[in-house]
Protein backbone atom coordinates (compact mmCIF):
# COMPACT_ATOMS: atom_id res chain seq x y z
CA UNK A 1 0.00 0.00 0.00
CA UNK A 2 1.43 3.35 -0.97
CA UNK A 3 0.65 5.87 1.73
CA UNK A 4 0.01 9.28 0.26
CA UNK A 5 -0.36 12.40 2.34
CA UNK A 6 -0.63 15.67 0.40
CA UNK A 7 1.03 14.01 -2.61
CA UNK A 8 3.93 12.76 -0.49
CA UNK A 9 4.94 9.08 -0.66
CA UNK A 10 6.05 7.51 2.61
CA UNK A 11 9.81 7.04 2.82
CA UNK A 12 11.27 5.54 6.00
CA UNK A 13 14.60 4.01 6.97
CA UNK A 14 15.53 2.15 10.13
CA UNK A 15 18.79 0.43 11.11
CA UNK A 16 19.08 -2.28 13.75
CA UNK A 17 20.98 -5.34 14.91
CA UNK A 18 20.59 -8.27 12.54
CA UNK A 19 20.27 -10.94 15.26
CA UNK A 20 17.55 -8.96 17.06
CA UNK A 21 15.51 -8.65 13.84
CA UNK A 22 15.80 -12.40 13.20
CA UNK A 23 14.59 -13.19 16.73
CA UNK A 24 11.73 -10.69 16.41
CA UNK A 25 10.53 -12.03 13.05
CA UNK A 26 10.91 -15.70 13.96
CA UNK A 27 8.91 -15.22 17.13
CA UNK A 28 6.17 -13.09 15.60
CA UNK A 29 5.75 -15.35 12.57
CA UNK A 30 4.77 -18.28 14.83
CA UNK A 31 1.47 -16.46 15.45
CA UNK A 32 0.71 -15.50 11.85
CA UNK A 33 -2.03 -17.51 10.16
CA UNK A 34 -0.68 -20.31 7.99
CA UNK A 35 -3.91 -20.15 5.94
CA UNK A 36 -3.02 -18.21 2.77
CA UNK A 37 -6.70 -17.53 2.10
CA UNK A 38 -6.66 -15.29 5.21
CA UNK A 39 -4.65 -12.75 3.26
CA UNK A 40 -4.39 -10.08 5.96
CA UNK A 41 -3.47 -12.54 8.72
CA UNK A 42 -0.94 -14.60 6.73
CA UNK A 43 1.48 -11.78 7.54
CA UNK A 44 3.52 -9.87 10.10
CA UNK A 45 3.09 -6.15 10.70
CA UNK A 46 6.19 -4.04 11.40
CA UNK A 47 6.05 -0.53 12.83
CA UNK A 48 8.41 1.92 14.47
CA UNK A 49 7.18 2.82 17.94
CA UNK A 50 8.43 6.08 19.34
CA UNK A 51 12.10 6.84 19.12
CA UNK A 52 14.30 3.81 18.94
CA UNK A 53 11.92 0.83 18.77
CA UNK A 54 10.61 -1.55 16.11
CA UNK A 55 7.44 -3.53 16.85
CA UNK A 56 6.27 -6.72 15.10
CA UNK A 57 2.68 -7.95 15.43
CA UNK A 58 0.96 -11.12 14.24
CA UNK A 59 -2.31 -12.95 14.84
CA UNK A 60 -4.07 -16.05 13.54
CA UNK A 61 -7.45 -15.17 15.18
CA UNK A 62 -6.73 -17.52 18.10
CA UNK A 63 -3.50 -15.99 19.34
CA UNK A 64 -1.72 -12.72 18.93
CA UNK A 65 1.75 -11.55 19.72
CA UNK A 66 3.63 -8.29 19.75
CA UNK A 67 7.40 -8.04 20.05
CA UNK A 68 9.53 -4.91 20.44
CA UNK A 69 13.26 -4.41 19.87
CA UNK A 70 15.56 -1.41 20.00
CA UNK A 71 16.76 0.22 16.80
CA UNK A 72 19.86 2.29 16.26
CA UNK A 73 18.11 5.08 14.41
CA UNK A 74 15.27 5.81 12.04
CA UNK A 75 11.55 5.21 11.89
CA UNK A 76 9.22 2.84 10.04
CA UNK A 77 5.52 3.43 9.39
CA UNK A 78 3.11 0.47 9.59
CA UNK A 79 4.25 -2.11 7.03
CA UNK A 80 2.48 -5.42 6.43
CA UNK A 81 4.70 -8.24 5.09
CA UNK A 82 3.38 -11.56 3.83
CA UNK A 83 4.56 -14.58 5.78
CA UNK A 84 6.45 -15.80 2.70
CA UNK A 85 8.34 -12.49 2.53
CA UNK A 86 9.07 -12.59 6.26
CA UNK A 87 10.74 -15.97 5.71
CA UNK A 88 12.81 -14.48 2.86
CA UNK A 89 13.93 -11.62 5.13
CA UNK A 90 14.91 -14.07 7.89
CA UNK A 91 16.90 -16.16 5.40
CA UNK A 92 18.75 -13.07 4.14
CA UNK A 93 19.58 -11.94 7.69
CA UNK A 94 20.78 -15.39 8.75
CA UNK A 95 23.18 -15.52 5.81
CA UNK A 96 24.91 -12.37 7.15
CA UNK A 97 24.81 -13.02 10.90
CA UNK A 98 27.13 -10.38 12.35
CA UNK A 99 25.95 -7.38 10.35
CA UNK A 100 23.56 -4.53 10.87
CA UNK A 101 20.38 -4.60 8.83
CA UNK A 102 18.68 -1.63 7.18
CA UNK A 103 14.97 -1.50 6.38
CA UNK A 104 14.16 1.12 3.75
CA UNK A 105 10.54 1.75 2.82
CA UNK A 106 9.59 3.76 -0.26
CA UNK A 107 5.85 3.77 -0.91
CA UNK A 108 4.63 0.17 -0.88
CA UNK A 109 8.09 -1.40 -1.28
CA UNK A 110 10.36 -2.44 1.58
CA UNK A 111 14.04 -3.11 0.88
CA UNK A 112 16.00 -5.10 3.46
CA UNK A 113 19.79 -4.71 3.17
CA UNK A 114 22.54 -6.64 4.96
CA UNK A 115 26.25 -6.44 4.08
CA UNK A 116 25.80 -5.64 0.40
CA UNK A 117 22.96 -8.12 -0.11
CA UNK A 118 19.35 -6.99 -0.30
CA UNK A 119 15.83 -8.01 -1.18
CA UNK A 120 12.82 -5.85 -1.96
CA UNK A 121 9.31 -6.97 -1.04
CA UNK A 122 5.89 -5.64 -1.96
CA UNK A 123 3.97 -4.65 1.16
CA UNK A 124 0.44 -5.98 1.54
CA UNK A 125 -2.59 -3.75 1.28
CA UNK A 126 -5.07 -5.16 3.78
CA UNK A 127 -7.15 -4.21 6.80
CA UNK A 128 -5.01 -5.44 9.65
CA UNK A 129 -6.45 -5.70 13.21
CA UNK A 130 -5.88 -2.45 15.06
CA UNK A 131 -6.91 -3.47 18.57
CA UNK A 132 -3.70 -5.09 19.88
CA UNK A 133 -3.27 -2.49 22.64
CA UNK A 134 -6.83 -2.94 23.92
CA UNK A 135 -6.51 -6.73 23.97
CA UNK A 136 -3.09 -6.69 25.63
CA UNK A 137 -3.95 -4.08 28.27
CA UNK A 138 -3.89 -5.07 31.94
CA UNK A 139 -7.06 -3.35 33.19
CA UNK A 140 -10.31 -5.04 34.22
CA UNK A 141 -8.92 -8.40 35.28
CA UNK A 142 -10.73 -10.84 37.53
CA UNK A 143 -9.61 -14.12 39.20
CA UNK A 144 -10.19 -17.37 37.32
CA UNK A 145 -9.91 -20.99 38.41
CA UNK A 146 -9.44 -22.89 35.14
CA UNK A 147 -9.31 -22.48 31.40
CA UNK A 148 -8.92 -24.77 28.39
CA UNK A 149 -6.45 -24.18 25.57
CA UNK A 150 -4.97 -26.05 22.64
CA UNK A 151 -1.47 -27.26 23.68
CA UNK A 152 -0.31 -27.35 20.05
CA UNK A 153 -0.78 -23.58 19.93
CA UNK A 154 1.00 -23.16 23.25
CA UNK A 155 4.05 -25.11 22.03
CA UNK A 156 5.21 -22.15 19.93
CA UNK A 157 5.88 -20.16 23.11
CA UNK A 158 8.53 -22.71 24.11
CA UNK A 159 10.29 -22.05 20.79
CA UNK A 160 10.24 -18.29 21.41
CA UNK A 161 11.33 -18.53 25.08
CA UNK A 162 14.22 -20.89 24.37
CA UNK A 163 15.38 -24.01 26.14
CA UNK A 164 15.23 -23.89 29.92
CA UNK A 165 13.34 -20.57 30.14
CA UNK A 166 9.96 -20.30 31.85
CA UNK A 167 6.78 -19.07 30.19
CA UNK A 168 4.32 -17.51 32.64
CA UNK A 169 0.59 -17.73 31.93
CA UNK A 170 -1.84 -15.26 33.48
CA UNK A 171 -5.56 -16.08 33.47
CA UNK A 172 -7.52 -12.83 33.31
CA UNK A 173 -11.16 -13.89 33.22
CA UNK A 174 -13.70 -16.47 32.14
CA UNK A 175 -13.91 -16.62 28.35
CA UNK A 176 -11.09 -14.08 28.05
CA UNK A 177 -7.67 -14.66 26.52
CA UNK A 178 -4.70 -15.77 28.60
CA UNK A 179 -1.81 -13.33 28.88
CA UNK A 180 1.47 -15.02 27.97
CA UNK A 181 4.59 -13.60 29.62
CA UNK A 182 7.77 -14.57 27.76
CA UNK A 183 11.32 -13.95 29.00
CA UNK A 184 12.95 -10.79 27.67
CA UNK A 185 16.05 -11.45 25.60
CA UNK A 186 16.73 -9.21 22.63
CA UNK A 187 12.96 -8.94 22.18
CA UNK A 188 10.35 -7.69 24.63
CA UNK A 189 7.19 -9.75 23.93
CA UNK A 190 3.49 -9.26 24.66
CA UNK A 191 1.22 -12.18 23.74
CA UNK A 192 -2.17 -13.70 24.42
CA UNK A 193 -3.84 -17.01 23.69
CA UNK A 194 -7.60 -17.37 23.19
CA UNK A 195 -9.40 -20.03 25.26
CA UNK A 196 -11.11 -23.05 23.70
CA UNK A 197 -14.74 -23.94 24.20
CA UNK A 198 -15.17 -27.13 26.18
CA UNK A 199 -17.77 -29.32 24.43
Q: What are the tens digits of pLDDT across the range 52-97?
A: 899 999 999 888 999 999 998 888 999 999 999 999 999 999 988 7
Q: Report the SS3 class of residue 85.
A: helix
Q: Report the SS3 class of residue 151.
A: helix
- How far apart are alpha carbons 167 and 199 in whole angstroms? 27
- How far apart are alpha carbons 164 and 17 in whole angstroms? 25
Taking the model in full, what pTM does it have? 0.73
For 77-114, give one letter per residue: b (16+ CB within 10 A) or e.
ebbbbbbebbeebbebbeeeeebebbbbbeebebebbb
Which CATH class name applies to 4-122? alpha beta
Q: What are the tens digits of pLDDT across the range 30-40?
A: 999 999 999 89
The answer to whether the beta carbons of residues 112 and 92 sit under 8 Å apart is yes
List the domain boundaries for the chain. Answer: 4-122, 132-193
Amino acid sequence: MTTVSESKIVTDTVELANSALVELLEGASTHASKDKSLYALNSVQLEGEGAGYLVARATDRYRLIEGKIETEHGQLSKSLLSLADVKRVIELCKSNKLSKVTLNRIGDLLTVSVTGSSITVQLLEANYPASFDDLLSVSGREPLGEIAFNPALFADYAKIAGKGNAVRVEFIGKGKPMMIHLPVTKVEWRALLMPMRVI
